[in-house]
Amino acid sequence: MVAPLAAHDSFTAPTGPVLLVIADGFGHAPDAESNAITQAETPNIDALLSNSDTSRLLLAHGPSVGLPSEGDMGNSEVGHNALGAGRVFAQGAKLVNHAIADRTIFSSDAWTTAVRSASDATLHFLGLHSDGNVHSHTDHLYALMREAAAAGVPRIRLHLLLDGRDVPERSAIGYLEATNAAIEAIVADHPDVDIAIASGGGRMTITMDRYEADWPMVERGWHAHVHGEGRAFSSAIDAVETMYGESDTGDQYLDEFVIVDDQGQPVGRIESGDAVILFNFRGDRAIEISQAFEDEVFSGFARGPRPEVFYAGMLQYDGDAFIPTHYLVEPPAIDRTVSEFLCANGLKSFAISETQKYGHVTFFWNGNRSGMIDESLETYIEIPSDNVEFNKAPAMKVREITDDVIGLLRGGDNDWGRLNFASPDMVGHTGDLNATIEAIRVLDDCVGQLVDVIDELGGVLIFTADHGNADIMFTEKDGVRTPVTSHTLSPVPFAIHDARATRTWSLSDVDGAGISNVAATLCNLLGLDAPDDYDQSLIQPV
């Protein structure tokens, strides 16, 4: 338990509530045709961001959110960790890089057990196949493969989820060629090891669902990886090239496939006695497939015969639910989140989003902690996302979230609240510029409604984002546009709308400020001192 925060000497809480609006994937980039945000009509957000006295930009990528380098794009998981923790913790990719460099990953109980289990069986590696560094990195896969071969594992099979989201939308063949080259190099050093790609498919078609939004997606992956059921091909490159020729679908939406031998038999079913390692380091899209492998009682889908395997994740994806039981690298220990302090002060709050981002304003915001901090003080609301392609319904659940938030604000029971609008990120990931423009337009209208209610109640609204995405929707070379479906390296906006007649604060000049500075700012706007070790507040007394 944390101690309550002291009252601030200069700041006082407003009579109305403080509302934090997180526009997921709403980055700041130069005005251009490729920028869905600047191409949309956004009078309400423009009004918030046009006042330099109350708005600024914040970093949301690379070391500012705990990732290894300036070239690493931020993501929703680490972004909400930073927003809720008020400090920067080393995150997934950085943790794994360190564990590989100092070889602690290979002395972990999970690794040694996996190698021992596969000593006369098969070691399967399952995960997102790219160097996007948001969920996984192929360098990590190659390091694990090399070490397994050196340890005498006789048979390795790869189950590769095609990206096209954190990397260019049709880049799978290049990654497959690189992996084939890595396999050849390992086999050259260890001729007795048998390594092959066994199955695959697009990350938004199989295996990598989150928040139980689409269990059939996980089911398709399960049957491909475990039972060898799916469209058969002689190689992964043949599978991708064939499906490219059949439609203009990007990698993330390609169907599941299975690699078969000359007799038409799958080359790498997952069978009892084998070991399976999920090499993704990000947790949200790793939990459901982990449950499918581990849970004795399981209702997600009909698994068929479940093989008895040793299963491990790169990290533990849910530390409270212990998913999975075994993992290679210790996750960041995020403690003393801002919600813990505000609960200690007896402040009532709410957190709300639709399914696609619900875990971000709850689990990730709370430092990878499931459940509420204090059920007597908190209200969590999940609005079910529609199971459709996001560009087909670009408003997503922004209007429904707004309606519920307005009711919560006017109800008078909450001192503060936080919400996530998923549409800039989720629609942005489709690469559909016009749909993303529409998503931004709807979001802006709803932000305007929230500002009006904050004015009515005498509260404060904070507008920010967790990372960029919708701000760069395509690149253009020689007149040819290539959709960009990934996040961006862009900073994100930060603005405060204070409905009080007299503002007792001004923006402070914090050099290199990032989204981790928002938590201390939230404390101050609620009339409290921020914890001493939090990253500096973005406001100062007038």
HSE at residue 76, side-chain half, CA atoms within 13 A, is 28
What does the block give as tokens for 8? 């601030």
Band (pLDDT 50/70/90 cuts) for residue 320 is low
Catalytic annotation present for 508:
no
| DSSP-derived secondary structure letter, 210 | -
Separation of alpha carbons 264 and 419, rounded Å: 51
Angle subtended at Cα 320 by Cα 420 and Cα 346, rounded to the nearest 5 degrees: 60
Of 128, 24, 12, the closest CA to residue 359 belongs to 24
Query: Tokens for 478?
Result: 């020689």
Contact 197, 257 (CB under 8 A): no
CB distance 62 to 69 below 8 Å: yes
Average pLDDT over residues 57-84: 92
N- to C-terminal Cα separation, the chain:
33
The three-state secondary structure class of 276 is strand
Non-local (6+) Cβ contacts of 287 within 8 A are 210, 317, 318, 323
Tell me the pLDDT tens digit for each residue of 227-241: 999 999 999 999 999
What is d(CA 203, CA 349) in angstroms, rounded to the nearest whole number? 35
Average pLDDT value for residue range 411-431: 97
Task: Summarize the confidence of residues 100-120 as an average pLDDT.
Answer: 97
- Name the band, by pLDDT with cuts 50, 70 and 90, for residue 192: very high
Above pLDDT 70, what percent of the chain? 100
Greatest C-alpha distance within the chain: 79
Taking alpha carbons only, the member of 90, 463, 128 closest to residue 284 is 128
pLDDT at residue number 495? 98
Find the radius of gyration of the CA atoms of the chain.
24
333 contacts 66 by C-beta, under 8 angstroms = no
Percent of the chain with pLDDT over 90: 91
Q: What is the pLDDT of residue 184?
A: 98
Q: Which pLDDT tens digit goes with each residue over 267-283?
A: 999 999 999 999 999 88
Q: Per-residue pLDDT for 535 more than 80?
A: yes
Q: Do 271 and 200 meet the contact criterion of CB atoms below 8 Å apart?
A: no
Q: Which domains does the chain have, with CATH numbers?
A: 18-89+334-541 (3.40.720.10), 93-313 (3.40.1450.10)
pLDDT digits (tens, 9 = 90+) for 360-410: 999 999 998 989 999 999 999 999 999 999 999 999 999 999 999 999 999
Predicted confidence (pLDDT) per residue in 457-499, tens digit: 999 999 999 999 999 999 998 999 989 988 999 999 999 999 9
Q: State residue 322's pLDDT score.
A: 83
- Other Cβ atoms closer than 10 A to 277: 25
CA distances from 29 to 38, 50, 298, 514 (A): 9, 15, 45, 16
pLDDT at 107 over 90: yes
Compute the half-sphere exposure of residue 370: CA atoms within 13 Å on the CB side of its CA.
12
* Residue 91 scores a pLDDT above 90: no
Q: Cα(166)–Cα(67) distance, rounded to whole angstroms?
A: 15
Query: What pLDDT score does 158 carry?
Result: 99
Q: How many residues make up the chain in this entry? A: 542
Residue 171 has pLDDT above 80, yes or no: yes
Section 149-171 average pLDDT: 97
Please determine, for residue 319, whether its predicted confidence score (pLDDT) is greater than 70: no
What average pLDDT does the chain have?
96
Q: Which amino acid is at 285?
A: R
**Active-site residue, selected from the candidate residues 34, 55, 64, 76:** 76
Preceding amide of 324 cis, omega within 30: yes
Does the structure show a pLDDT above 80 at 27? yes
DSSP 266: B
Q: pLDDT at position 477, please?
A: 87
Is it the case that residue 68 has pLDDT exceeding 90?
A: no
Structure tokens that stand for 113 in this block: 């057990």
68 vs 390: which has the higher pLDDT: 390
